[in-house]
Structures are given as structure tokens and as C-alpha cells.
Amino acid sequence: MKITNKATAVLSGLLCCQFTSISVDAFDQMPVSKDLAPMEKPTTEVGDEWNAVRNGEEIIETVVALDGDVVTYETSNGCMYKELEWGFSPSLEWSDCPGGEDGTQKITKSRGSPWPMQVKTKFEYSFTGEGDGEWLGERKCKVKKQVRVKVPAGEYDTFRLECKDKWDTRTWWISPELEEVVAFEDKDGLMELTRP
């Protein structure tokens, strides 16, 4: 199945700023219709798109290049960035993105893997970066639960993945049915898939 994997832009938090956040727990209270089997890593292809909305603004992210596990994305607001495939790690590079300076980061996968994805899966990244100053940090991720969510594109059974670092908590809802992220939330608010 061809996916439209664009979770990575939202995961880096580079898309937009000054959005009103809602409570994650208020969003995902429905039980799944059936237990989810472990999810293997989907493929990514040049041309894949992720269409989402946050506070009424439509955002489209497109895969424009692939180089091994590094994926380059372009957003409808002109932001260009590079992520490790499926983008749960911090961004490797970014430019012309709203709300921030251009920058680069070196990412080290320090423990675990998201795949196959299932409840209690844990993985971590260490990173150092340069842009508006220099920094270092760690991002710790865990698949917290299975939950059904309703987004503009429909209702889907999902894995809820949460990643924390010292700047933010980021949450993804990943649908094995679509092999896609159907929602993402960070400090800037909730972003929801508008079409599969």
C-alpha cells in the first residue's frame, strides 16, 4: 500500500506557531474496534503527500527526495526539511520554516526501534544541533496505547506514540489500516489528517 507519510514535518514542530493546543486525553477516548497487530514499517516514496489541518489552516507536506533513511520534505508554506524515515526523531536539517531559524542536527539512535510498532515499544534518540545557537538533547519515545480517533479523514484505530524531550512532548496517532499518521500534537496544537 502506498502511504502518504508526512508526519515528520509536524514532528519537528517547524510548521507553524501560535496555535491553541487541546488536551491529548480529550482527543483519544474511544476504544479500538479490535486489537491491533504489531505494525511493520511502511515504505515511503517520492511524491507521497500528507494533507492536514491545524486551527483551520491546511498544510500539505510532500516527499521530494529519498537518500537511504533520510527523507526530504517540502511543505505548502515553503519549509524544506530532512528527517530520518518516519520522522519520530528530531529533524536533520531545515530551512525557510515559520517560527525558527535555519539549522542542522546530528541524530544518534541510542536505543530501540519503533518497528514493529506495538504497545510498550520504546526507543530513544540523542542529538546535537546548530542554528540559532547550539544545543544537545535526548528524545525518549514510547507507544502508550491503542485508541480509536476521529479526524476529518474518518475514524481510525491507531497506536498512540508519545516522544518527550526538554522542549516539548510530541504525540502521533498512527493507523495500521492506512499505514499513516492520522493526527499529531505538539505545543503548537493538534494537526489532523484531512484525506487518506
Give per-residue pLDDT as tens, 110-156.
799 999 999 999 999 999 998 888 999 999 999 999 999 999 999 99
**What is the pLDDT confidence band of residue 52, given thresholds at 50, 70 and 90?**
very high
3-state helix, strand, coil in the chain (%, to 5): 5, 55, 40
**What is the pLDDT confidence band of residue 45, given thresholds at 50, 70 and 90?**
very high
pLDDT recorded at residue 126? 94
pLDDT recorded at residue 64? 97
Average pLDDT over residues 73-83: 94
In whole numbers, what is the pLDDT of the chain averaged over residues? 86
CATH topology of domain 7-193: YmcC-like fold (2.40.360)
Share of the chain above pLDDT 90, in %: 69
Instruction: Say if residues 134 and 127 touch (Cβ distance below 8 Å).
Output: no
